[in-house]
Structure 1
Amino acid sequence: MRGPLRERVNRRLLAIALAAAALGSTVLASVSGALVLHATLKEAENHTRSIERDLSGSVTSFQPLYEVQRQLQLAASSRELRSALLLDQRGMVLAASDNALVGHSVQALDAEAGLGDLPEHLRACFPASSAGFCVADRASSLLDGPIPWFGGDHMIRVLPTPLALEGLPAFGQQGLLVIELDLQPLVGQALQLTGLVFLAGLVPLFLTAAALVLVVRRQLLPELINLAQTDSLSGVLNRGAFLEAAAQRLDLSAVDQPLVVALIDIDHFKTINDTYGHAAGDEVIRRMADFLNGAVRRGDLVGRLGGDEFALLVAAAAPQAQDLLERLRQRVASHRWTLADGSEPQLTLSIGMVEQGSEGRNKLGELLQAADAALYVAKDQGRNQVMDLERLHPRGWSVQPA
């Protein structure tokens, strides 16, 4: 039966396939993106070291400061290089890619100097006791930005170097060469590649997940849904499955498709259990369910609500449905029921029915309450009969709560 449960399971399986594909593609993109970004940063650091070698050769070749200044400006003309500074051991700017910075102390530079947070990092290199990321005897790097774990958006590279420049008061004093590299273009390319990997991985992963879902849906889903909807004893729809399917059928029913809800009780079922045993009672339930399944039409619903109570949803108007139920009652009453242990109980049915729209009742809960009232009247008037309260009281009737 294709019902609400199957639809919900299909939607859930599709959602699982999408989620699994998205998660797998995200992991794939994250790992590949991290590797690409790491390689990109390594390449950037190698590029920085190449610039560093060229500039460090200039500051030790006994050139005039203006020549070093020109080389720093030429280096900064590169798109990736944000700035380049040459500092003495006190933190004074001897040469810079920006002429306006020459002669200033790092300690006095602020955000208006156009260097971003570079002065803040460099100030930590020139206290009385050296701290920060600067190392006195070797080059060091700092990756800075909004995502420092992955390298951020710029790299600061510092190189302690002896100074041998024309015009300096002391020959061979210690200086600091500072290079700041802009990583945003490289990081942007890495992120674009990560996005492409995500999209490229999403399709095959989704197809793989969808194929697995399809296998589950075709081979296991029918069996699982059958187990979830079928009453284990009788083999007909269980209470939940019947109520759900009947409610959906009633909500979707057209004006020209009348429906009748019927409740059926096996008369004196407790006596059957007490007389023949519970095993015989279970057999009666199973055989009655088979009997009801064989008596109704393909478009009707049969369910067991519990105990010896069955429910039918008959796709017919009240007169035709009552004729069907009356023939069913007569066949049960006239049938010779022989159980596995040889016992022959006499079985009869009490049936209460109500048509959709009767007294304005359209919802399943209202119809079940009305059918239950009709079933109670059938039992009260001697059992073994079909009761339709609307035909019994054509001028109207109502269900009174107990």
Structure 2
Amino acid sequence: MHESPTSPAETPLPLTFSGSGAEYFRIWIVNLLLTVATLGIYSAWAKTRRLRYFYRNTQLAGAAFDFRGDPKAILRGRVLAVALLAAYHYAFGFSLKAGVVTVALLLAGLPFMMRSALRFRLANTVYRGLPFGFAGGIKEAYLVYLLPVAIFVLPGALVALMPGRPIAGSVFLLYLCWPLMHGAMKAYQHKHLMAGDQHAAFALGTADLAKPYVRAFLFGLGLLVLIGAAFALAVILPRGHGWKNAAAFLPAIIGLVIGYVFLLLSGPYIMVHMNNLAWSATSFPGVRITCAMRVWPYLRLQTVNVLLTLLTFGLYRPFAVVRTWKYRVAHVSIEAPDGFEQAVLAARRRPVAAAGDGVADFLGVDLSW
């Protein structure tokens, strides 16, 4: 008796990208020139054009995604964000009271704005006419984002309030909690995703998402051992003609090389594994997502991108962005055991009143550029 072949419903559906670097270069150069000519005002329209190009060239099961955000809403959000950051930069120079008020506004406003950014982006991302959404609550947003925001705004404020005191520098100890903070933000983003009226399920916790940081830390610890061995080697080995002077620099050179290798590897390693974990743990009713990027190919890709961007004085940047997007899309696939069409048809458009997207559309806060 022969085994039945895999049915189409069980075959993973890949995401594909049909754009090219040359096409996007034309969009990018116009966006750049108009943004400079308008002193940054056009950046909101530039972002909308960029997202539409990438989304409309990304296909799943023969249908493309789309972005329908209003550039004017994005501009309003950016003006608000830039005003707050400018106030933070200059407020303490104006007066101590103004600085404290500005820091309080940032602590109170940025978590709300970051949640609004997620709501705006997803509410305006569409597939087959069905908008995505974000159902994360405000209270949880403050629990997740307040500490990262505090790390950003408190050092400067404490230096201005208590110059020369050790407590001003102690706030940097909060960075030790960054793996858990990053994991909490990822979990918050993924477990509240929506496709129409379908809520996502998310199978991981904050500690699970922080594991790539732990592995990177252990890897860095191993490199520190190698650096220590290099120092010991420089002391123990005999010093002949000119060796004494060379040995003084050898540990530093080896340490710099090893430290550079660690910095080069840790960023892509953490990004790849956190994305793989987060997306592979995200599912919708009848739909499972798999993300399977690999560290070394991604590192090679980014190394080439950086080198060519530097060699071309930045002109290779749009090609690098396309190559990165294409790589990430190519390593995401969708499984629908009961059929993808049935899963899509089961999702319905959310009522506007229930979705509450009016505030998100008004603010249009998009903190990325």
Both structures adopt the same fold (TM-score exceeding 0.5):
no
Q: Identify the structure with the greater strand proportion.
A: 1
Q: Identify the structure with the greater helix proportion.
A: 2
From the CA coordinates, give the structure whose radius of gyration is larger. 1
